[in-house]
Amino acid sequence: MTLHDRALAALRGLALGDALGMPTQSLSRETILEDYGPITGFVDAGPRQRIAAGMPAASITDDTEQAVLLAELLIEGAGTVDTSTFATRLLAWERKMKAKGSLDLLGPSTKFALEQLNDGVPAGEAGSRGATNGAAMRVTPIGIANDVSDVRTFVDAVVAASEVTHNTSLGIASAAAVGAAVSAGVGGASMPAAIDVAISAAVDGEGRGHWVAGGTIAGRLRWAIPYLADVPADDRDRALAEVIGTSVAAQESVVAALALAAVSDDPWRGICQAASLGGDTDTVAAIAGAVLGATTGSAAWPPAEVHALETINDLHFSSLAHDLLALRA
């Protein structure tokens, strides 16, 4: 597998997981099972799906759209992200969503941070409450564009792309963990090695930004992965949803996504499982998909589903991966 193959698989895994979780996001496990049964492929948004109401099967959500936005800014800026431009683009994206009648809008941390910026609060302070998973869900392009061999330098890049909305110990540590796992995988690391790097990056990230209370990302990963590995396979959904957690809180959904990826022996089934858990399913599945793709390569994903995903959403991941890897070089 080449760098391009793994980078492409990471982007596709992100979007595949996002699209699988589109119809189930914010629903309970019980509601998902009643409306869809266990998720095994793309389905239309059901009658009780309010955020993505009426969206057809294989449609992506904010997870993929914000990741693509970040990738485009990285390419435009030759590897750097201009804070004011990023804020402007995010607000423009939300206006477009509102014009379409969509409720798939900016998350609570991002929304608050952008309101702060508009009120004249400095960029480093605007994201001082961002402890949710918004930075982690969009960080995959950072992992593709930056080598993680020097963890501290890598986390610097994560901070630069995250602090405007998620400038907290939890927000940065979670994004650093996901980005580092993707970067390590793109560079050829196995899943266990990628998880080790993710934990190291999370430790570094925990010392950045504004401290907020909560179980640390590194500490919860060290606990959650061996815990989940010891749970019988047919009880892992319950363990992920009820013990590790799948809410928008970074120390729940990001840890759940990385733990699920770490124990999964089939990438496609893994992200389908993530989409069935309840809670922030599109983000859990998207993060798990990005890491599984990076460590496994394009063979992880079924060609028919990839074709449907990229056609329906007009995605051009091959060229995007190429341009991001040029920055890595």
Pick out the residues of the known binding site for Mg(2+).
61-63, 280, 282-283
Place of tokens 């858990």: 277
7-20: b (≥16 Cβ within 10 Å) or e: bbbbbbbbbbbbbb
- Which tokens is 266 given? 């089939």
* Tally of residues, the chain: 329
- Which tokens is 58 given? 């294989």
What gap in Å lies between CA 217 and CA 227, rounded to an integer?
15
Residue 73's nearest CA partner among 162, 174, 12 is 162
Residue 184's nearest CA partner among 175, 193, 176 is 193
Beta bridge partners of 67: none
Show binding-site residues.
61-63, 280, 282-283
Residue 288's nearest CA partner among 323, 325, 240 is 240
Name the burial class of residue 200, with classes exposed (0-12), middle (13-18) and buried (19+) by CB atoms within 10 angstroms of its CB.
buried
Whether 65 and 18 have beta carbons less than 8 Å apart is answered as no
Residue 174's nearest CA partner among 186, 184, 159, 160 is 159
Q: Which residues contact 123 (CB under 8 A, 6 or more apart)?
A: 83, 84, 117, 163, 164
Place of tokens 């379409």: 100
Report the chain's C-alpha Rg in angstroms.
Answer: 18
User: For the chain, what is the total number of helices (H) and then of strands (E)?
Assistant: 18, 0
What gap in Å lies between CA 5 and CA 109, rounded to an integer?
33
